[in-house]
Amino acid sequence: MHALRGWRTLRAGRNGGAMTDVSAESELFYQSLPVFSDFAKVSDAAAFAPLPEDWTLLASDIVRSRDAIAEGRYKDVNMVAAAAVAAVLNVAGRADLPFVFGGDGALVAVPPGLVDAASRALVSVRVMARETSGLRLRVAAIPVAALRKAGADLRVAKFELSRGNNLAMFSGGGIELAETILKDEDRVEPYRLAEPDVVEAAPLDGLSCRWEPLPARRGRMATLLLRPASGRVEELSGILEDLRGMLGIDLTGADPASAPVRRSSLRFRFPPAGLKLEARMVGWKKGRWRTYLAGLAACAAFVFGVATGRRVGPFEAERYLHQVALNTDFRKFDDTLRLVLDLDSRELAALTAYLAREEAGGRLSYGLHVSNEALMTCLVFSLEDNRHIHFIDGADGGYARAAQDLKQRLAVGTAGSATA
Domain boundaries, the chain: 2-203, 214-374
Average pLDDT over residues 11-22: 41
In which band, very low, low, confident or very high, does the pLDDT at 4 lie, cut at 50, 70 and 90?
Answer: very low
For residue 397, give the amino acid letter.
Answer: G
pLDDT tens figures, 143-202: 999 999 999 999 999 999 998 899 999 999 999 999 999 999 999 999 999 999 889 999
Angle between helices 115-133 and 275-282 (to 10 degrees): 130
**What mean pLDDT is reported for the chain?**
90
Q: Which of 52, 44, 23 is nearest to 148 (CA)?
A: 52
* Predicted pLDDT at 346: 95
Higher pLDDT, 60 or 198: 60
Q: In 42-114, which ranges are continuous DSSP H helix?
A: 65-70, 74-91
pLDDT tens per residue, range 297-327: 999 999 999 999 888 888 888 888 888 989 9
Region 61-75: mean pLDDT is 93
β-pairing, 35-36 with 155-162? parallel
The pLDDT of residue 216 is: 96
Alpha carbons 221 and 371: distance in angstroms, whole number? 5
Lowest mean pLDDT among 21-25, 68-72, 287-291: 21-25
Asked if residue 45 has pLDDT above 90, the reply is: yes
Cα distances from 33 to residues 44, 130, 167, 261, in angstroms, run: 15, 36, 12, 28
pLDDT of residue 314: 84
pLDDT band at 409 (very low <50, low <70, confident <90, very high): very high
Could you tell me the CA-to-CA distances from 361 to 70, 348, 356, 383, 403 in Å, in that order?
34, 20, 9, 48, 21
Q: Beta strand 220-228 with 337-343: parallel, antiparallel or unpaired?
A: antiparallel
Helices (H) and strands (E) in the chain, counts: 13, 16
Fold of 2-203: Alpha-Beta Plaits (3.30.70)
Question: What's the rounded mean pLDDT across residues 276-303?
Answer: 94
Query: Mean of the pLDDT values across residues 235-249?
Result: 89
CA distance linking residue 171 with residue 153, whole number of Å: 7
pLDDT at 15 over 60: no
The confidence score (pLDDT) of residue 21 equals 52
Question: What SS3 state is found at 378?
Answer: strand
pLDDT of residue 414: 56
Lowest mean pLDDT among 18-22, 248-252, 397-401: 18-22
pLDDT above 70 coverage of the chain, percent: 93
- Asked whether the predicted pLDDT for residue 7 surpasses 80, the reply is no
- How far is C-alpha 248 from the chain's CA centre? 26
Q: Return the pLDDT at 3.
A: 38
